[in-house]
Structure 1
């Protein structure tokens, strides 16, 4: 039996006109719940957000490598496929240049973005140089390539790793995690002249206030891509904008059918 929106946890008023699917492509339910809680703090009154979590046993509990990203994209798209036709927009809740974003754009016409993309473009509009708080060092390297890929290298003050894994954001003592994040944020601002700080992981979303406190008095904006993505996409829906189906994101399904291929 295929998934229905009613099967998912949600935030927002019943009967609202805009439905957004928040896709957490890893298998950690608590991360989805945490993101929904954060989203509720700035949710437009006409919008409901539904939280999807990647299938347990088929997607990893965290996404920290290229292979994690590719496998989580394939398995989440197969599992959540029926949901995309039930919503007006979709957010991919992984802070990376995650392959699922373009897969959704190619397969459907609803507007879609990832939380990294939303955070970077928001920071670009609010300041001159943004800094990125990363988890592990490998993530720092991957995110640097993503900054270049988005054409934003000239607007990035730098990226800095807390040396924590995504899982350690939850399992290590809260005080220790927040201290590491605060110190990295201060370094990006004081030594690398960042005027906006981007939280480089969905698991950091509920830690924004601690970073803001650490930077108090410096006039720095702290940006969480989870809330940015929901608000950007709900705005697109109100404007009647969808993913263009000419060029890069031309429908892929007819081509598969002509080749006799079905892998969904």
Structure 2
């Protein structure tokens, strides 16, 4: 049985529940999916500051999963916060939802548009498209300017759906990537209206982690993603000290 932990890097428990439901909907038996939120961190991630302060909580959940024998992890925030550090700690694969969604989009068409939350986060989406090698395929990043914690509010789905349709037309895209885990709950509805594949990173990342585990593949520990060496950490970060430090 494969065990996957989906980490919502913010502390909004209702969003974590919705993310977990989406992940479980795509996982195949006998895979089990557990969705968690860190005990510490921001209630939503909408800035570089938020993202930086979310990372310790993400790493604490990775460490907890390692103690419990988890097989693989999904980082369910479109900024993919802490992804590299998580890969250093985890024995199994770790996949971010932006990474997975962009990969999936390039398998389904020549170009994709990203529909995200606030305008200030568009730069981060472009950064990741460049990092993952998909900048040429990303034809536009569009913000609905709905805060993360209001994505389940009245009219939010309709606003996102309308923006997806406009993005496809404006960019000439073949697919749409939803740029927030909080949009996962209405991915299927938007896809039916958009007329093109609409990719939710939570589902894409869950399926990808599941496949990697089934194939017996793990993150390489040669070089950059090798486990970090022993080192002391001070103050609030003292619990993150790497065993073996003297």
Normalization by structure 1: what TM-score?
0.84
Q: How large is the RMSD of aligned CA atoms in angstroms?
A: 1.6
Could you report, residue by residue, the CA deviation over 1:168-199 in whole angstroms, capped at 9, with x for unpaired residues?
212x31xx212211221111111211111111
Deviation at 1:109, TM superposition (A): 2.4
- More displaced 10-residue stretch of structure 1: 198-207 or 141-150: 141-150
C-alpha separation in 2, matches of 1:19 and 1:59: 24
Q: Equivalent residue for 2:157?
A: 178
- 1:36 aligns to what? 20
Residue in structure 2 matching 1:141, options 107, 115, 123: 123
- Unaligned runs of 5+ residues in structure 2 are 241-246
1:236 corresponds, among 212, 229, 243, to 212
Partner of 1:189: 168
Q: What CA deviation, in whole Å up to 9, does each residue of 1:35-61 have, x standing for no partner?
A: 111122221112101111121xx3111
CA distance in structure 1 between the aligned counterparts of 2:62 and 2:214, rounded to whole angstroms: 24
Q: Which residue of 2 aligns with 1:169?
A: 151
Partners of 2:62 and 2:127 lie apart in 1 by: 28
Number of residue pairs the alignment of both structures matches: 235
* Separation in structure 1 between the aligned mates of residue 239 and residue 200 of structure 2, nearest angstrom: 34
From 44, 64, 75, the counterpart of 1:92 = 75
Q: 1:207 to 1:119 in 2, by over 3 A?
A: same
Local SS of the residue matching 1:125: helix
Say whether 1:83 aligns with 2:74: no
**TM-score, normalised on structure 2?**
0.90
Q: Is the 8 A contact 1:109 1:244 kept in 2?
A: no
Deviation, structure 1 residue 78: 2.8
